[in-house]
A and B are shown apart, each in its own frame.
Chain A
Amino acid sequence: MTELTRLSAAQAAALVASGEVSAVELTTAHLDRIGAVDGSLHAFLHVDTEGALAAAAAIDAKRAAGHHLGPLAGVPLALKDVLTMEGVPTTCGSKILEGWRPPYDSTVVRKLRAADVVILGKTNMDEFAMGSSTENSAYGVTHNPWDLDRIPGGSSGGSSAAVASYEAPLAIGTDTGGSIRQPAAVTGIVGVKPTYGGVSRYGLIAFSSSLDQAGPFARNVYDAALLHAAIAGHDPMDSTSIDAPVPDVVAAALQADIRGLRIGVVRELNGEGYDNGVRQRFSEAVALLGELGASVGEVSCPHFDYAMPAYYLIAPSECSSNLARFDAMRYGLRVGDDGTRSAEEVMAITRAAGFGAEVKRRIMIGTYALSSGYYDAYYGSAQKVRTLITRDFTAAFEQFDVLISPTTPTTAFRIGERTDDPLKMYLADLDTIPSNLAGNASMSVPCGLSPDDGLPVGLQVMAPAMADDRLYRVGAALEAALDSRRGHLLLEEAPAL
């Protein structure tokens, strides 16, 4: 039999369901894999060995008792450390939350438990999801399994590295400006940002409330669809959650047929500043989509050029407010409380000690952008740009069923390469930000290795809000064509760890 950690989520679930493999065996195999390789990757901040094995044993017992099992029963999963899980340390990659154990499950975790998924532990991330390389974690950098000297993307870099390195077949990430899609692209896996409101944000520790969205990582499109279906759906605990049926993403992934589908290539998300290798793989993929029967054309979304500046006003503004609660009063870090200082002083000292440089930078930018006298010029203007970007999408979706672009302008860059230049770091999210601002659905699917450096390149598919199923149709079709052309899975080309 294939090594258990090499199984897809669907295969693993089938083996557990048939009783050929127990959930405990499957979980143990993945815990062993983590033990073997995480020393060099540092994908996990916390491995919940005991909890994972207990959950696996419970699933095996459930099966033995003849109870119904979910479609992902027994499948191990890595959870980004930004989602609460009762009793399990949750840090958001920040010192300020060190030692905090949430007293409640996020809705995503509740749904994962209900689907009999086994949660292995919490993965590393840029502090409070602010970053594109996972270098902003207070707990150390995560390495890209394709090249340990390179970043795994960010902010969900722990989750992408865990899936790409076979530590887990599935992972949950969150995407505020590209934090699922960009890490998926640079590690050669599939990552999806569902429609805003498609997956509940209850228990997702907010960076930017109007942009944050949790979604799946997997090594193939179908697995991603299974996970997407497991976590999506209306939640009365989240007022922004959409009260409508979840698009049938699993059926779409199975269908994998794009004949007659109208695909628009976004002119503004390509060209100058993009690696040649990225452009080459992307244009090959565009041609392949045409060969598969889609009608491919070009579309202009002129306001996408302003997405980055708008994003860097809206997200910091919301973050400056969302992160105000970390004040040493009720939980987490407390510094300077020596009995002589006022509450306000302890708050200030703790926040100075507990937040990293990038988080502080964004809190400062956001505080400034919201302050009276500047609000209209900054936050107000950014919201107008956001509306214009949404209109660009609406117009483009009148002509095309989906839009595509490279997921990120470059392949994985080297650790340390951009840490001194925030603006250069921000460019990693150039292609992914528009979908967050508009709230529509978006996926990154691998489209080969760059001829320049042999590193993975991702193709981004964007669909209208609540048309997440289209992502899976396109992603699955492209994946199948590329796999069959290549004769093996892309990840098999990754170096052994």
Chain B
Amino acid sequence: MSTAYDEALARFEPVFGLETHVELGTRSKMFCGCSTTFGAAPNTHTCPTCLGLPGSLPVTNAVAIESTIRIGLALHCTIASWCRFARKNYFYPDMPKNFQISQYDEPLCVEGYLDVEVEGEVVRVGIERVHLEEDTGKSLHVGGSTGRIHGATHSLVDYNRAGIPLVEIVTKPVPGTGALAPEVARAYVTELRETLRALNVSDVRMEEGSLRCDVNLSLNAIGAAEWGTRSETKNVNSLRSVERAVRSEIERQAGVLSGGGRVKQETRHFHEDSGLTTSGRSKEQAEDYRYFPEPDLVPIAPPAEWVEELRATLPELPFDRRRRLRDEWGISVLEMQAALNAGAVGSIEATVALGVPARDAYKWWMGELARQANERSVEVSELPVTPEQVARIVALITEGKVNDKLARQVLDLVIAGEGSPDEVIAAHGLAVVSDDGALGAAVDEAIAADPDAAQKVRDGKVAAAGALVGAVMKLTRGQADAARVRELVLEKLGANG
């Protein structure tokens, strides 16, 4: 890594914490019946309640409560037997009521943890709290060059997002990860995302903002008893950005401290393009949100039996599942990590379930398909190809109908939407040519074209057959069964492989 980073880590110990906001995938909003579907025309998913019209009142979405408790349980939290919503008061145009219904000193879930794996080591990240709140609307600043409020001529507000249930998951400070802090932070968000996906409570799409991260980070001199002043970096909206933001803040703060400066407690913004953070508003004078219990809602008191029922019906968690699959598939920790990062675990598992050997399933999803996904900047599971299709291709290879090279072409065409593997093969004539008649003619042609090589083979230099096999493959545009071609060449030239 960069020297600045190494120098920083030589002198300072990073402590980070993450606040993650997750939009729940409920059908309706947190406190009204409006739809939560992403991408609708602005202000079409609104009603008196989520617009905060005078006289309107909130009614709690029971599914959101259930989802939050399930998240808390998956994160090994204690579930409050009684808690309340609170109003967080501040003025901003995208907040219809100028207060946000959130939770303050009585969160629904507290004191848990999430285990993550980095370079084969398990790191336990403490969870401080999981609470439920409503999302705000979205401001669109028009007329400026940057899309930010600075320089804009006017602003538009879309309240479709206002009132969408939002779960905030706050970690405890994570010390002691040293140079691995960026990787641990990324691994935490990845693991959290997988966990939420397994719970089926959110679509966790960072690019659509349904999972958003704030990164808190401070440095202290190695061996120092007290932690340093922390910055809070907003806008960290991809896994890669989490890692980069932690790294960038480590380098920046180390620079400030090494220069004899003082780290300011402030909000910072992360920029995807530069990978750097810039100063936002200062938090030296902390904003006073005047929290108080939300008088329009009754307390939440989940019965203990219900919580136990939810606990009993939790799905297998990704961390446990990966350990099990690693054993079953016989792959290494790092291979599993790669599959996790590519979002391919589920696809591989589904393919294996169709009878495909784990090695083959892994190879295809993490090879050609991972490459394709990467090119398109999507997750492997989002490619328009199904585990069934991959299983069929592996079967075709086993049957000798296609070779590896042809199989890749077949996959490309399947992804391009040209049909099933069998349809693509038929339409493009991609099957391996193993018919001796057709191959024999090509072999004869190759021998005639390269008499030197043919002679060498006749003289017993079998290695020279490679050139002739290659020529045949070329003549058959790769569709020949290479093993059969080799046999035919040797046969015709009277040599024995």
**Chain A interface (Cβ within 8 Å of chain B)?**
83-84, 90, 92, 97, 100, 102-104, 106, 201-206, 208-210, 236-240, 317-318, 320-321, 324-327, 329-331, 343-344, 347, 367, 370-372, 375, 379
Contacts and interface: CB of A to CB of B under 8 A. Distances in A.
18 contacts: A90-B54, A100-B54, A102-B48, A102-B55, A104-B56, A204-B55, A239-B297, A317-B292, A318-B292, A320-B290, A321-B290, A321-B292, A324-B99, A325-B97, A329-B93, A330-B96, A343-B155, A379-B292
B482 interface: no
B298 A240 contact: yes
B409 interface: no
A239 B59 CA distance: 6
A320 B93 CA distance: 17
Contacts of A239: 57-60, 296-298
Contacts of B99: 321, 324
Contacts, number: 99
Given A209-B296, A375-B292, A379-B292, A237 B53 contact: no
Interface in B84-125: 87, 89, 91, 93, 96-99
Given A83-B55, A205-B54, 12 more contacts: A100-B54, A202-B55, A203-B55, A204-B55, A206-B54, A239-B57, A239-B296, A320-B89, A325-B97, A327-B91, A330-B53, A379-B292
B155 A106 contact: no
A274 to B, nearest CB: 32
Nearest to A372: B288
A306 B89 CA distance: 28
Nearest to A83: B55
A363 to B, nearest CB: 11
B55 A106 contact: yes
Nearest to A366: B290
Contacts of B96: 325, 330
Interface residues of B, number: 29
B49 to A, nearest CB: 8
B295 A210 contact: yes
B440 interface: no
Interface string B269-289: 000000000000000000010
A178 to B, nearest CB: 19
B58 A347 contact: no
A238 B58 CA distance: 7
Contact of A370 (B52, B59, B290): B290
A130 to B, nearest CB: 15
A257 B308 CA distance: 52
B296 A240 contact: yes
A330 B96 CA distance: 8
Contact of B91 (A104, A201, A347): A347
Given A240-B296, A370-B89, A331 B53 contact: yes
B54 A92 contact: yes
B57 A201 contact: yes
Contacts of A201: 57
Nearest to A329: B93
A102 B296 contact: no
A327 B55 contact: no
A370 B54 contact: no
Contacts of A204: 55
A343 B319 CA distance: 47
A371 B58 contact: no
A324 B89 CA distance: 8
B51 interface: yes
B233 to A, nearest CB: 24
B165 to A, nearest CB: 16
A329 B52 CA distance: 11
A324 B296 contact: no
Contacts of B52: 325, 330
Contacts of A203: 55-56
Closest 6 CB pairs of A and B: A324-B98, A370-B290, A209-B295, A210-B295, A203-B55, A205-B54
Nearest to A209: B295
A325 B98 contact: yes
B157 interface: yes
B48 A324 contact: no
A174 to B, nearest CB: 11
A83 B296 CA distance: 16
B54 A97 contact: yes
